Structure 1
């Protein structure tokens, strides 16, 4: 299976876990997912009272410079850890 195909499969499967991952785990996955699909952050950081938006932006920004393939590989690794811990 190609890296991209595995990434897409795992991205769908991780949504089906029985126990919701922690906020930190969710942000890690979000940042890696955005980096894999979009590349470096390309929007302004949300301001004001948008704490969730800022946290998501920061998670994505923290992956700046990571290649698409590296982001996909790391996403797959983290998602599989979450799936084994949280159950399917």
Structure 2
């Protein structure tokens, strides 16, 4: 399976993670997903009153030096880890 196909497969699986998945883990996945699909951050940081979007922006910024392929691999690894922790078959 090509990296892109595997990435898409795990992007779909990520949507099946339980609601109890921590916000921290959701933000890690968000940042890796944006880095893998969009690339470098291309927007300015949201204002202080927009906490949710600001946290998402920060998660994306945190993986700034990662290549798209690295971000895809890291995303897949993180989804697998979260699925195992939740007792979901991979």
TM-score of Structure 1 vs Structure 2, range by shorter chain: over 0.9
User: Please, what TM-score do these two structures have when normalized by structure 2?
Assistant: 0.92
Query: Larger RCO: Structure 1 or Structure 2 (Cα < 8 Å, ≥ 6 residues apart)?
Result: 1
Which structure shows the bigger proportion of residues in helix conformation? 1
The 5 Å alignment of 1:1-88 reads 1-88=1-88
- Structure 1: stretches of 5+ with no match in the other structure: none
- Structure 2: stretches of 5+ with no match in the other structure: none
After TM superposition, what 4+ stretches of structure 1 lie above 4 angstroms from structure 2?
A: none
Q: How many residues are aligned here? A: 88
User: Please, what TM-score do these two structures have when normalized by structure 1?
Assistant: 0.94
CA distance in 2, matches of 1:76, 1:13: 10
